[in-house]
A and B are shown apart, each in its own frame.
Chain A
Amino acid sequence: MRVGIVCPYSFDVPGGVQNHVMDLAEALIALGHEVSVLAPADEDAPLPPYVVAAGRSVPFPYNGSVARISFGPVSTARVRRWLARGDFDVLHVHEPFSLSLSMLAVLSARGPVVATFHTAMTRSRAMAAAQGLLQLVLERITARIAVSALARKVQVEHVGGGAVEIPNGVAVAKFAGAAPLPGWPGEGGAVGFLGRFTEPRKGFGLLRTAYADLAATRPGLRLLVAGPGEREELLDGLPAELHGRVTYLGKVSEEDKARMLRSVDVYVAPNTGGESFGMILTEAMAAGTAIVASDLDAFRRVLDGGRAGVLFPVGDAAALGARVGELLDDPARRSALAAAAREVVTEFDWPVIAERVLEVYATAIEATDGRVIDQEVP
């Protein structure tokens, strides 16, 4: 199948949507499909061979962070040229409601269009004002995918119409094969956390409290943290004698993320809410690291009801400390959890997810020309 994928955000900055697009493109190529990805980027930027640069992007504040996007007559011309040259069987756009290449591509498309919605955006005044335009965009889309139940719910309530729910994939092999950082996890054990620790909903404060208690009785226990922020903020509230036992990696690349997850005995996800899917959990599962996570709906589902990771009551630092302590003392239980996690995470492996995306492509093509495509059972 010839597939054209449009990514609205530039590959210069790392981000969830960009990673998703790259992993999907690579999984489709591995399955023998022809893929071209259009994304905003400078012509001389180093890009994977399947990416076509759509030119310079401009910074645009979006959803609390700055996204770099392309929009305007020049971008429109480039999108049209790419579409004409690509002659795709199906066009797959991401986040088509952002003012971006994705929207331009949808409006210029003639054939079947599949759209993936990532963010669970709520209806804004701007969206209400642009209802007519959004309706036109929506009408051009043949099939819709939502990456989480929350994103799907927003579809149903705000835009009208449903979406096929296909979760984010995880490149299991990349995580399972990563080498731990030198010297980690070490004799005394190590606990890990990844994410925006300054954001209350990520629940890092709970882990800080639990770690302070655990570290008091376990002299070798170390804490490994990665994510955007300042070291001072990270250590704020932690007894000074423990500061030396906390390693802060800052913001990490995808490869370092995998290495970081492989470097700890227990990965902790203390989130208190707002998490729609729990991508990081599937990554820790792929890395084969034992998990202690808040008992949120999304986490419980990903962890197969607690079979693939230990759950603790949301917001309960004492329970979190107890669960982590038990796991640190019980290597056999840790490996049992990791084995169960590896089994569960195969459902989220990119080759499996890509097959399901291909089924949506087939359906979109069928709904455009009415013929039914034969697809082998994988």
Chain B
Amino acid sequence: MWWVVGVVTVVVLVSTYLTWTAARVDRLHARAAAAAKALDAHLLRRAAAAAVLAEERSAVELYAAARIALDSPPEEREAAENDLTRQLRTIPLDEDAEALVAASRRLAVARQVHTDLVRDALSLRRRRVVRLLRMTRRHPEPEYFDIDDPILAPAAVPTPLP
């Protein structure tokens, strides 16, 4: 009799743990996917703001970099975005660049959050129980988006003079 109670308890505990873990897997993957979508939107916004500024200033190289970033296929996107960041670092940030500076700052936050959420999801994927029961089969593996810090004018931390 007692072993029945014991087995039932164990089964209940194990299945609760597994359900809970499966829910965690779903939640973290949904979040990483949402963060990726948001990151994509902020990348597009920055490139668009850069293109607008390049047109206003007739800056050919900047315009080209912005276009390439907007049109790049996924596998070349990181390099294209880094090129755009490098271009932006060379231009003077006057009044007319305000929208661009704001877009870059939002992008920096979106990138940071995306990186953290991808890391959370990946570390859960590596768990043995998750791998063994293939809990991630419905979720593609989240990928890092590895670009340089896009921040243009570090608003709060002025760089020290040499």
Of the candidates A167, A305, A347, A372, the one having the most CB atoms from chain B within 10 angstroms of its own CB is A372
Which of the residues B106, B114, B115 comes within 8 Å of A359, measured between beta carbons? B106
User: In the complex the two chains form, what is the Cα distance from A366 to B98 in whole Å?
Assistant: 22
User: In the complex the two chains form, what is the Cα distance from A111 to B28 in whole Å?
Assistant: 13
> B160 in the interface, Cβ–Cβ < 8 Å?
yes
Q: Are A138 and B120 in contact (CB under 8 A)?
A: yes
Chain A residues, Cβ within 8 Å of B33: 370
Query: Total interface residues on A, using CB and 8 Å?
Result: 41
User: In the complex the two chains form, what is the Cα distance from A165 to B151 in whole Å?
Assistant: 12
Q: Are B158 and A347 in contact (CB under 8 A)?
A: yes
> A369 in the interface, Cβ–Cβ < 8 Å?
yes
User: In the complex the two chains form, what is the Cα distance from A304 to B99 in whole Å?
Assistant: 25
> B24 in the interface, Cβ–Cβ < 8 Å?
yes
Q: Are B112 and A366 in contact (CB under 8 A)?
A: no
> B110 in the interface, Cβ–Cβ < 8 Å?
yes
Chain B residues, Cβ within 8 Å of A356: 105, 155-156
> A348 in the interface, Cβ–Cβ < 8 Å?
yes
Q: Are A366 and B35 in contact (CB under 8 A)?
A: yes
Which residues of B1-53 have CB atoms within 8 Å of chain A's CB atoms? 24, 28, 31, 33-35, 37-38, 41-42
Q: A167-B157, A304-B158, A367-B34 are in contact. Are A139 and B28 (CB under 8 A)?
A: yes
User: In the complex the two chains form, what is the Cα distance from A270 to B127 in whole Å?
Assistant: 50
Q: Top 8 nearest A-B pairs by Cβ distance?
A: A305-B161, A370-B34, A366-B38, A367-B35, A372-B41, A161-B116, A370-B37, A305-B160
17 residue pairs bridging A and B, Cβ less than 8 Å apart: A139-B24, A142-B117, A143-B112, A163-B112, A164-B108, A164-B109, A165-B156, A297-B160, A305-B158, A353-B156, A356-B155, A359-B106, A362-B106, A367-B110, A370-B33, A375-B106, A377-B99
